[in-house]
Structure 1
Amino acid sequence: MDPRGSYMSARSDLKEAKEIKDTRVLPMQNKSTPQGTAQFKMVVIEPKSFDECPKLVDNLKAKKPVIINLEKVETDSARKIFDFLSGATYALNGNVQKVANNIFIFAPENVDVTANIDHKGIDFSGSPKNVWR
């Protein structure tokens, strides 16, 4: 047998193997959407009472931002809810941002919230003015 023939045969077999290997189907990622962002979830809620707070904190612990609307909650309950969620957010290295009157976003550390909202007349220093009103 001609050594050159066996070389050509082996080379042909190798070429076929490469062609077969190159025909496999690979999943493609959408370059405009980074991997993992499709599963990002956000919780939007109008809590009725303080009893809902532990469930909301569970969402923060699961790295889900929580937006709450405190408009329909009495002032004392709103204060308790706000304080509880603020403390939990702080403990989880997150941040709190006021969106509008009575509406806040509590974001875990994996969520960057940038706001360019002018909060005229709102005192966040703990004065008698209510932060959430």
Structure 2
Amino acid sequence: MRNLLPLTGGSSYKIAFLSPQTFEETREAIAALKDGEIVLFNLDKLGPVQAQRIADFVSGSACALSGHKAVVGNGVMLFAPPTAQITIPA
């Protein structure tokens, strides 16, 4: 295994997985985005009204930070800082 070379030029991002139970816990997601982390958000255990309120708030915050958003699944969203690009296959 002496002939293995490290991969260079690749980016390394931290990914924060959050499953908030209250609106106040969304601050952790915003702080992670500000720090340049990718945030995977699971809202499927919340009621529809609370999940929508949290999703709207974090989406607006990501937009204000020039970040990106993608819906991954039912109640699961991915938020990325402006330095990361989300590519969704067509």
> Residues 96-122 of structure 1: CA distance to partner in whole angstroms, max 9, x if unpaired?
1011111110111011110126xxxxx
Partner of 1:93: 66
Give the alignment partner of residue 28 of structure 2, picking from 44, 49, 55. Answer: 55
Q: Distance in 1 between matches of 2:68 and 2:10?
A: 24
Alignment equivalent of 1:34, drawn from 2, 6, 9: 9
Q: Please point out which of 48, 54, 57 is paired with 1:81.
A: 54
Q: How many residues align?
A: 86
Residue 34 of structure 1 and its aligned partner are, at CA, apart by 2.6
CA drift of 1:33 comes to: 3.6
Query: Secondary structure of 1:59's match?
Result: helix
Q: Which residue of 2 aligns with 1:116?
A: 89
RMSD: 1.7
TM-score (norm 1): 0.60
Q: What amino acid is the match of 1:108? A: P
Task: Looking at secondary structure, tell me which structure has more strand per residue.
Answer: 2
Task: List gaps (5 residues or longer) in structure 1.
Answer: 1-28, 118-133
Q: TM-score, structure 2 length as denominator? A: 0.86
Bigger Rg over Cα: 1
**Larger % of helix: which?**
1
Runs of at least 4 residues off by over 4 Å? none
* Correspondence for 1:103: 76
Higher relative contact order (CA 8 A, sep 6+): 2
